[in-house]
Structure 1
Amino acid sequence: MTESVINRVAAGGPVAEGTIRFVRLGRSESLSLAELARRAEVLAARLAELGVGRGDRVGVMAANCPEWVLLDLALLRLGAVTAGLEPHKFEPGPRLLAEYGLKLLFTDGPADGPGVLPVSEAGRLADRPGPARPVPPAHYGPAEPTALKFTSGSTGRPKALAATAGSVDSSLRAVQQMFAHGPGDDLFVFLPLSLLQQRYWIYSALCFGHDVTVSTYEAAFPALSQARPTVVMGVPAFYEAARTHITGQAGDAGPKGVAAAARRLFGDRVRYLWTGSAPASRSTLDFFDGLGMPLYEGYGLNETCIVAKNHPGAHRPGSVGRVVPGKEVLFDEDGVISIRSTRPVAYRYAYAPPGESERTFGPDGLVRTGDVGRLDEDGFLWIAGRADDAVVLDNGRKILVRPLEEFLRNSPAVEECVVFCVHQTRLVAVVAPSGEVPDERAIVRRLAEAREVFADDERISKAVVAADGFSIANGLLTSQFKPRRRRILAAFQAEIDDPSGGLHAT
């Protein structure tokens, strides 16, 4: 039987050689993986003294930091469940503890009330002098939860999944088979550790002997050049921003100047870049591939974890790769995808509005994704868009808007865009410009080019420019940098409906 990664991590050893580094703005600290495991073991004993035991839920609501990692590893040793909470989505306090059944909550925000502790307390507990009674490591069965995993949905209360140990093991084994991470590698992580998959790379380091660097989105660019990673884990929006930065730094220096600017940003050791969560534009994929930094897209959901991934030896740009072992992709008559897993993440939501679990989950953990796609003759999966994002015109024709959005995003003037259908008669794009001053001429030119490429029914009548862009701060992007379509529609409804406003192709 294949060894469980989760149980190996929970046991705290044998720990492979390697280093974990935390890089934040103005600060950097490193420790060996062996020391990380030792401190996590002590913290587990201290948490046990506070009454935390097997099956208890403990919330962590903080920016990426050493204490976040220590808490997660300590809770795994106890057989407890880590609830990763994004600070901007929740308010710390007794109500939050009661709502999600949390034994304790560690936060870098206000820490008032019973059961709410500053996240820095985890570091103090791990280093507190005096003997700590050792805690025997927990052993997880494949169907037992290790984490409470919240979705990044665009509206309402976040749904939550009790993610199983078996699903984590299955995903990490598939990734290791594709990419063979090991000594000499340094995986760069900057997305929030509240997202369970970001914590996978800590587990991977402990098991497979590579380094890992943990930063934050705000510090990512300066941290990259300092860390010189071999692998970067990021969403498409990050790579779009990196591409803009590189070309801006290169100026008119030509291909050699672009390559030099890329090395200054990413360092000189990158063997590949990882992306998912949203589609990357073909121009961005080609840009990094041309630099010798292949950008491998993949596909998965919170409810399924990784389903497909491009990787060395099996890479088809524009696809999301071949289906990984342990996953089966099924299609209905409209091409809508469902996923069956050997080790499901969950069989229903732990927290969700009535009926939501039944809409998403089928028998035996089958997950209805709502995505439309196809498998090609070589087994590569292609995603055409969301079934919900298909618009039906008054002539009965159904149009998927994702190809239109990707075409517009391939313009250097466009950072992000969302296409809406007005009264089933015309398509309107809301565009987030790539610069502080929108290049309206370039946007209009791209609209005109779209008219030449797409059919008459797919013509975009105009573009509404979101001058302040889409961001997490203004509520128009999720924590994984996906556009919040409903909020964008609500924010620009008046401009979308006004036939005389906006930019029109000539």
Structure 2
Amino acid sequence: MSTPTRAERANAYAPSEMPRVPVRADALAHDTVLRRFLARAESTPDVAALRALAAGGAAADETITWSEWASAAACVAAALVSDGVRAGDRVAILAGNTPLWPIVDVGALLAGTIVVGLFPTCTAAQADALLGDCGARVLLVDGAAQLAKVSPSDGRRIVSAATWDEWLDGGRRALADEAVAAEIARRARAAAPDDVAGLIYTSGSTGEPKGACVSHEYLLASAESIADALKLVAGDSSLSVLPYAHAAERVFGHYTRIVVGMEAGLVADASRLWEAARTFRPTVFGGLPRLYERARDALLAARAAVPNEARLRWDELLRVGVDRSRLRRAGAAVPADLERAWASLRDVAAAPLASIFGDRMRLATSGGAPLAPDVAEALDAMGVTVLGAYGQTEHLCVAFHRPDDYDFDSVGRPMLGTELRIAADGELLIGRGALTFAGYWGRPEATRDAFTDDGRWLRTGDLARIDERGRLAITGRKKELLALSTGKKVAPLPIEGRLAEHPRVAQAVVFGDGRKHVGALLFLRDGAAADDASLDAHVREVNATLAPHEQVRRWRAVPGELRESAGELTATLKVKRAVVAARHADAVEALFR
């Protein structure tokens, strides 16, 4: 009988036969991601773990149980071992939110390798640079568009969607070899908490990506800190919509779901998020500020579309809900009559809320950039309390609001296992511990610079204060890095340097912090004419070299150069971004209208 093709199998990412995993959780002496995952697969083998959603852009609905995930991961491990991949080698993944990502991740960990995620939106040049930096031995891609970004390299195997079936079934056959199975078991048993499990690339203030080394201990401690803050349980579920290469999805999503035992709904097409939420009905909704901005706008549009009588109920819900929200945020008791009035009005918003988030959501979280207080308050009034968080790839679990302890002016209290300190110059420092990264891949000097001289505190580059309630508030940035409302991070300096290469441009200043896209002011050399056609062509040329979220969507020419004498430049001629933003506030606002 011939082997079924991928299209003929119910589980398109599983091998044609499901083999036994060559090691059990109780055989692992150390507490690692592997032991937690295997224990979950052994205790709840038939419970759904991953669900690819047709409503979220998958070719078809597909459910993968914990045991099926474990078996497929074992095949990945065997394929890697039989290919000669050694423990400590890097395995890279360039793929969207499909089952391939979590399956390969666990399989690569079983094989003792280090998993490297590449953003699906990266350019060919960016992919080449990151693959070269980490020295990946194997690269897995999930489609022709991603495959076109990478070029063959000596010593690197590329597994594409077209060769996945053959490669995975080759791993299944390799598992029948006792030597291969024994080697996988040996590597799993050898895994230690301080071993590097993955690299998560982050852009620094210079724009040069650095691979943050995260250990098994980092991943487990972070997941436990998140579960503690949100009181997550095995019956919870969440959507996977941010790329797995993103620190938030990798840790707040993927590894937290493994530790807690939550089901993931995979959204391959982010533009279909609301449709996916209605279908999957998650209990926990994690999003970026831009998603909640859209949700608020959709809810207000629903209010505007109903007859006048219902609209009056909407208005009353918002009025009563804002009063209730302000009391809750202040830590004051909500009077019983106010709570009853609010509860009696919620039905007017029930259907619109369910059409966006599904009808089971009990928790909503936001990170990556600040959520505008007016958006957060409007949603809270309607019954969606969005809990903000703060973290960095180097230490993701810094601060988080709790369901019964939140506001919209801070980023919450420190998370379990995190110690905070404010330096003399106002910089936020984080105590080095289990939740802290192990350093930057191949960059010992950058690693040393990330910490204080005594090595005990991680430098965040952010200015902060801790209020009288113990909540952390971020007040500014020491480092040059923009956080868009979409959660994407943009290093402005390289973009500004390229924009300033035009002969008429003296300086370029890029903006976008808390905004949905990047905009730029181009300060013209003294006496230079604007020549919009030439400048526009130049901006387009620069954009062609950038990832989509980095591209300058709007720009404006401003006559006259920035000057040190005017307080716009430092003594070393670096732009004072805050001064420029304040002095040209109208022009900056015009970039985002």
Answer whether TM exceeds 0.5 for this pair. Answer: yes
Q: Deviations over 1:149-191 (max 9, x none)?
A: 1004576331111112211111111112222322331111200
Q: Supply the distance in 1 between the matched residues of 2:279 and 2:589 (Cα, whole angstroms).
A: 45
Q: Supply the distance in 1 between the matched residues of 2:131 and 2:295 (Cα, whole angstroms).
A: 39
Task: Within 5 Å, give how 1:67-78 maps onto structure 2.
Answer: 67-78=100-111
Task: Within 5 Å, give how 1:90-105 maps onto structure 2.
Answer: 90-91=123-124, 97-105=131-139
Q: 1:204 to 1:139 in 2, by over 3 A?
A: farther
TM-score (norm 1): 0.74
Match of 1:360 in 2: 450
Q: Deviations over 1:170-220 (max 9, x none)?
A: 111111222232233111120001124313333333333321112142332
Is 1:282 aligned with 2:373? Answer: yes
Q: 1:294 to 1:500 in 2, by over 3 A?
A: closer
Deviation at 1:315, TM superposition (A): 2.1
> Which of 214, 226, 240 is residue 266 of structure 2 equivalent to?
214
Match of 1:40 in 2: 73
> Which of 177, 192, 209 is residue 141 of structure 1 equivalent to?
192
Task: Within 5 Å, give how 1:385-424 maps onto structure 2.
Answer: 385-388=476-479
2:214 partner SS: strand
Q: 1:499 to 1:385 in 2, by over 3 A?
A: closer
Match of 1:197 in 2: 248
Verify the 8 A CA contact 2:219 2:255 in the aligned structure 1: no
> Which of 217, 222, 226 is residue 279 of structure 2 equivalent to?
226
Verify the 8 A CA contact 1:43 1:74 in the aligned structure 2: yes
Greater Cα radius of gyration, structure 1 or 2: 2
> Which of 152, 157, 173 is residue 130 of structure 1 equivalent to?
173
Is 1:54 aligned with 2:144? Answer: no
Q: Supply the distance in 2 between the matched residues of 1:371 and 1:433 (Cα, whole angstroms).
A: 18
Match of 2:13 in 1: none
2:173 partner SS: coil
Match of 2:358 in 1: 267
Q: Which one is further off, 299-308 or 84-93? A: 84-93
Verify the 8 A CA contact 2:397 2:435 in the aligned structure 1: no
Aligned-residue CA RMSD in angstroms?
4.0
Q: Supply the distance in 2 between the matched residues of 1:496 and 1:323 (Cα, whole angstroms).
A: 46
Deviation at 1:144, TM superposition (A): 1.5
1:14 partner SS: helix
Q: 1:358 to 1:123 in 2, by over 3 A?
A: same
Q: Supply the distance in 1 between the matched residues of 2:545 and 2:350 (Cα, whole angstroms).
A: 33
Q: Deviations over 1:5-53 (max 9, x none)?
A: 5132464643533431122425332211221122111221121111123
> Which of 210, 213, 222 is residue 171 of structure 1 equivalent to?
222
Match of 1:64 in 2: 97
Match of 1:14 in 2: 42
Verify the 8 A CA contact 1:187 1:213 in the aligned structure 2: yes
2:124 partner SS: coil
Match of 1:439 in 2: none
Q: 1:430 to 1:340 in 2, by over 3 A?
A: closer
Q: 1:267 to 1:308 in 2, by over 3 A?
A: same
Q: Supply the distance in 1 between the matched residues of 2:228 and 2:470 (Cα, whole angstroms).
A: 17
Q: Deviations over 1:261-320 (max 9, x none)?
A: 121111110101111111111112112222322211011001111111111233233221
Match of 1:466 in 2: none
Specify the code of the residue in structure 2 equivalent to 1:44. A
Q: Supply the distance in 2 between the matched residues of 1:356 and 1:490 (Cα, whole angstroms).
A: 34
Deviation at 1:59, TM superposition (A): 0.9
Q: Supply the distance in 1 between the matched residues of 2:266 and 2:408 (Cα, whole angstroms).
A: 28
2:271 partner SS: coil
> Which of 22, 27, 30 is residue 63 of structure 2 equivalent to?
30
Verify the 8 A CA contact 2:411 2:471 in the aligned structure 1: yes
Verify the 8 A CA contact 2:283 2:360 in the aligned structure 1: yes
Q: Deviations over 1:331-385 (max 9, x none)?
A: 1223210111321533432256x95434322333521112111112221111122
> Which of 391, 400, 406 is residue 315 of structure 1 equivalent to?
406
Specify the code of the residue in structure 2 equivalent to 1:101. G
Mind listing any 5+ residue stretches in structure 2 that lack a counterpart?
Answer: 1-28, 315-346, 486-491, 493-508, 518-541, 562-582
Q: Supply the distance in 2 between the matched residues of 1:259 and 1:185 (Cα, whole angstroms).
A: 21
Q: 1:257 to 1:496 in 2, by over 3 A?
A: farther
Q: Which one is further off, 269-278 or 218-227? A: 218-227
Verify the 8 A CA contact 1:348 1:361 in the aligned structure 2: no
Q: 1:80 to 1:474 in 2, by over 3 A?
A: same
Q: 1:96 to 1:227 in 2, by over 3 A?
A: same
Match of 1:245 in 2: 298
Is 1:107 aligned with 2:141? Answer: yes
Q: Supply the distance in 1 between the matched residues of 2:513 and 2:455 (Cα, whole angstroms).
A: 41
Verify the 8 A CA contact 1:18 1:209 in the aligned structure 2: no
Q: Supply the distance in 1 between the matched residues of 2:107 and 2:165 (Cα, whole angstroms).
A: 12
Which of the pair is proportionally richer in helix? 2
Verify the 8 A CA contact 1:273 1:293 in the aligned structure 2: yes
TM-score (norm 2): 0.64
Q: Supply the distance in 2 between the matched residues of 1:271 and 1:184 (Cα, whole angstroms).
A: 12
Match of 1:187 in 2: 238
Is 1:372 aligned with 2:415? Answer: no
Verify the 8 A CA contact 2:399 2:415 in the aligned structure 1: yes
Q: 1:138 to 1:157 in 2, by over 3 A?
A: farther
Q: Supply the distance in 1 between the matched residues of 2:440 and 2:236 (Cα, whole angstroms).
A: 36
Q: 1:56 to 1:496 in 2, by over 3 A?
A: farther
Aligned residues: 433
Q: 1:234 to 1:124 in 2, by over 3 A?
A: farther
Q: 1:187 to 1:54 in 2, by over 3 A?
A: same
Verify the 8 A CA contact 1:315 1:321 in the aligned structure 2: yes
Q: 1:81 to 1:90 in 2, by over 3 A?
A: farther
Task: Within 5 Å, give how 1:318-467 maps onto structure 2.
Answer: 318-351=409-442, 356-362=446-452, 363-364=454-455, 366-388=457-479
Match of 1:440 in 2: none
Is 1:494 aligned with 2:535? Answer: no
Match of 1:161 in 2: 212
Q: Supply the distance in 1 between the matched residues of 2:246 and 2:437 (Cα, whole angstroms).
A: 16
Match of 2:564 in 1: none
Q: Supply the distance in 2 between the matched residues of 1:224 and 1:145 (Cα, whole angstroms).
A: 34
Verify the 8 A CA contact 1:319 1:382 in the aligned structure 2: yes
